[in-house]
A and B are shown apart, each in its own frame.
Chain A
Amino acid sequence: MLRRVFTVPQKWHVYQKEFFHEIDNLGISSLPIIAIISLFMGAVITIQAAFGFTSAWVPLYAIGYTTRDSVILEFSPTIISLILAGKVGSNIASEIGTMRITEQIDALEIMGVNSRSFLILPKIAACMLINPFLIIMSMFLGIAGGWLLGTLAGVVSTYQYVYGIQYQFNSFNITYALIKTVVFAFIISSVSAYHGYYTEGGALEVGKSSTRAVVYCSILILIFNFILTQLLLS
């Protein structure tokens, strides 16, 4: 299927229009949910870190340090990608699946359009481009949420938290997170599109395709998370 997806677009400006539509549909529309989850998860990580560091030997700036690394290394790239697998993956699978059962894909084929490329390529490109921005935003909001609720709850001061998030900062962690994000974005868009494209039957099967897409995406994200971590960090 991917061989037919990655072909030269039949008309660049039509594909370009679809690409920007997908940026909005798959990326911009995910902003609110990612913002809310990131803020609260960052806050919870901070409070849990403060709860765990009861020893007098552990400095309070370790709370900021722990929150930063948890958010950058794992929470934002992996957990947010898993959430996007649910939201974006089911959206892609059900949209393409519905087009399949209502003969819209047949209509494209009859017109002479390479339906795989036209429907799937803009989605893959949009996800791979917009997801890193979403994840960077999630990192900022996660760390900001930790600071906001950590200081409000009185578990850490602003000075200690900011010192912690600056302490021994390794910029490769960001690169590692973004590499993971791009790979996960490809998995989410391509696997979901595959399940949607090969839907057969009616509305019930569209629902099943959508569920299958989310399950497969989640499993593949976890497997590739392990593989990429081994490759990049060990």
Chain B
Amino acid sequence: MIELKNINKSFNGRHVTQNFSCQFERGKTNLIIGESGSGKTVLLKCIVGLTEPDTGEVLYDGKDALKMGAKEKQNLRKEIGMLFQGGALFDSKTVEENITFPLAMFTNMTEKEQKERADFCLSRVNLKDAGNLYPSELSGGMKKRVAIARAIAPNPKYLFCDEPNSGLDPKTSILIDKLIKEITDEFQMTTIVITHDMNSVMEIGEKVVFICNNQKWWEGSNKTILNTENKELQDFIYVSKFLRELKEKSQG
């Protein structure tokens, strides 16, 4: 489980995240949604340790990551898998080398075992035959899937996804969402997904946190979000005229 307590972060006096507190449970896909510029990615960077919050606590199974020593922090990072917005695959390495890299770096697996693990992860994301390709030879959706395979290769306890659907068509987006959900269930990870895609929310949002004005504005699930009375969240969900009319019709 990951717990955030009173996270505050500002850049040059401008508050990006204010008093953010929340719990993210194990085995669930937790979604953080909000408009562009609402501070979602900064919050995620604070959670994974790429940025240090000004104040607050980031608790991984009860241990504050901000108070950990270098060695402890490094051990924690070995339990983290992250899917970046653009995939962040290493351009100079093949797909297989990308996946085996964390294994070669932090495990005592033999090359054969690493290859087997890479094959398993690639088959898990339906890219069995892509091992010898370079990232430049992959489509956007394939890159995301390889990035997921790389993230799950070392069997992480925590999975973070920064806008996994950005730049993808709706069909591929749903595939990626389902994959994240399946992997979370299968490996019982604590998964946090940053998104502003309502399809993702409805598809995999077991827990949904809405950020507005750089604060936590609403908390619920995909089952309760459509009936929310929260005005800002309604504005976020029913942004198109079509959806607003659909909602009015359904309400009679």
B87-109 vs A, CB cutoff 8 Å, 1 = contact: the mask equals 01111100000000110111000
- For chain A, the bracket of interface size reads 10 to 19
How distant is the Cα of A13 from the Cα of B109 in the complex, in angstroms? 13
One of B88, B90, B92, B104 near A106 (C-beta < 8 A): B88
Asked if B105 contacts A110 (CB within 8 A), the reply is no
How distant is the Cα of A139 from the Cα of B49 in the complex, in angstroms? 50
A11-24 vs B, CB cutoff 8 Å, 1 = contact: the mask equals 10110000001000
How distant is the Cα of A103 from the Cα of B161 in the complex, in angstroms? 13
Q: Given contacts A10-B105, A14-B104, A106-B50, is CB(A112)–CB(B88) below 8 Å?
A: no
Within 8 A of A (CB), among B69-128: 74-75, 77-78, 80, 82, 84-86, 88-92, 101-102, 104-106
B33, CB-defined interface residue at 8 Å? no
Asked if B78 contacts A111 (CB within 8 A), the reply is yes
Q: Given contacts A14-B104, A112-B106, is CB(A107)–CB(B84) below 8 Å?
A: yes
Q: Which residues of A contact B88 (CB under 8 A)?
A: 102-104, 106-107
B43, CB-defined interface residue at 8 Å? no
One of B82, B86, B89, B101 near A110 (C-beta < 8 A): B82
Q: Which residues of A contact B90 (CB under 8 A)?
A: 99, 104, 107
Q: Which residues of B contact A110 (CB under 8 A)?
A: 48-50, 77, 80, 82
Q: Given contacts A10-B105, A11-B104, is CB(A112)–CB(B74) below 8 Å?
A: yes
B78 — nearest CB in chain A belongs to which residue? A112
Q: Which residues of B contact A103 (CB under 8 A)?
A: 84-86, 88
Seen from chain B, the residues whose Cβ lies within 8 Å of a Cβ on chain A are 48-50, 74-75, 77-78, 80, 82, 84-86, 88-92, 101-102, 104-106, 154
